[in-house]
Amino acid sequence: MRALIVIVVLLAAAIGAWLTRDRWLPGPSPAADAVSATGTTAAGAPDTASTHTPQAPPAGRGNTEVREQAQRYVDTLTRPEQEPVRVERADHFVTGDQMLTLVPHAAIETTTVQQMRVDPTLAPDTPITVVREVEQVERVTPEKLIARSAGKLDARVKILVNDEVQETTVRQVLESASRTPDAPIDLVTLSEYYEQTTLRELAERADEPKDTPIRIIRKHRGLETSSVADLMRSAAVAEDSLFYVRTVRPEDSQGIWGIVHDGIVDNFARGMAIRRGREVSTYQVEIPRDADERLADTSSSFLGKLIFKKSAASHVYNFTQNRMGKNPDRIVPGQEIVIINFRAEELIEIYRHFVEQRG
């Protein structure tokens, strides 16, 4: 009888341990979509504390999922801007169709027709380019709105609501979109265009106020806008190439290596927008800033090898002289943009490498 009691007690203990095993044994975490996320919940409240840590994907299906995530990420990262990117503040991954405004801000001055008529340096037939601005309305999705604002939810934007222009923030627009997901988002933007004329034509034009400030460039420029592909026409690039375009800045003390490094780290960190039902979230890939340094065994890192290759193949366009060069020894802030040619597969590999590395 005593032996039977001992057997019953041991059996009960084993059953209890089996039923409570999940409290004590760590189970596998669900695979995350990306390194971190900040979202807007279905109720509309921004979930700024929401983060996801990527786990190593399971064999087979998991690798396919990460690749699909990477492809969506790269597609969003390189989505063309509707407006041309200004050369003095370029910092974008783009397709070859992306238009660039090649007129530096310093070349544009504000004056009036009256002031120009008494300017001794301007003759009646002097070529003048007038820089005009017009408001336009673009219908966008929540995903595109986040991408356009580089993930900054407190950035101020103008939207059209019931034929009225309202100024608000990206965060407030997303909250409203969560409550009414079928309502359109009409984003109001300023579009620039260039009108080539002369002082005589401006003075004779009846609808041109003579004392109202206008923005002008004192001479016709040969190239005011261009697509990235047209600028790269002399280089051998594939039709489906993607490009990183970045203005050279005074703080670029590390040259083109530093420009490529910051472009990859910063742009991947800005993230993308993903909609799941009524929820819209922004996802970022966090790349360590020292990821380009040598490994412990002194071999080159994944990112270091990539930056070395891209720096050596870089192109630099001087927009003040309309001249393209390759891998220069010296770069000039405020006058040049660096153009780096990428294949989509390379950007996908960057995503996969750092998401899987954190698993």
Within this chain, do residues 90 and 122 fall inside the same structural domain, yes or no?
Answer: no
- Please identify, among 203, 221, 239, the residue that sits at the C-terminal boundary of a domain: 221
Residue after which a domain boundary falls, among 205, 221, 237: 221
Tokens 């405020």, residue located: 334
Looking at this protein, which amino acid is placed at residue 76?
T
Residues 191 and 268 in one domain: no
Domain tally for the chain? 2
Residues 279, 291 share a domain: yes
Residue 273 has pLDDT above 60, yes or no: no
Tell me whether residue 16 is in a domain. Answer: no
Q: Does one domain contain both 136 and 198?
A: yes
**Per-residue pLDDT tens over the stretch 52-62:** 333 334 444 45
Pair 227, 216 in one domain: no
CA distance 232 to 326: 11
On whether the pTM is more than 0.75, the answer is no
Is the pLDDT at 274 greater than 80? The verdict is no
Flag whether 150 is in a domain: yes
Q: Which two tokens stand for residue 116?
A: 């120009």
Average pLDDT (173-199) is 84
Cα maximum dimension of the chain? 120
In a domain, 278, yes or no: yes
Same domain, 112 and 85: no
CA–CA gap between residue 287 and residue 349 (Å, rounded): 13
Residue 162 forms part of a structural domain? yes
State which residues form the domain around 199.
106-221
**Are 214 and 91 members of one domain?**
no
Half-sphere exposure of 260 (CA within 13 A, CB side): 26
Residue 216, Cβ density class (10 Å: 0-12 exposed, 13-18 middle, ≥19 buried)? buried
The reply to whether 331 and 280 lie within a common domain is yes
HSE-up (13 A, CA, CB side) for residue 144: 12
pLDDT: is 138 or 9 the higher one? 138
| 18 in any annotated domain | no
Name which residue leads in pLDDT, 7 or 292.
292
- Let me know if residue 269 belongs to a domain: yes
257 and 157 in a single domain? The answer is: no
Residue 273: closest CA among 178, 163, 138: 178
Domain stop point among 186, 221, 256: 221
User: What mean pLDDT is reported for the chain?
Assistant: 76
Claim to verify: residue 164 and residue 196 sit in the same structural domain: yes
Q: Check whether residue 185 and residue 128 sit in a common domain.
A: yes
Query: Are residue 339 and residue 241 in the same domain, yes or no?
Result: yes
Task: Pick the more confident residue, 166 or 150.
Answer: 166
DSSP code for 293: S
Give the type of residue at 4. Answer: L
Kindly state whether residue 23 falls inside one of the protein's structural domains: no
Whose tokens are 């041109």? That residue is 208
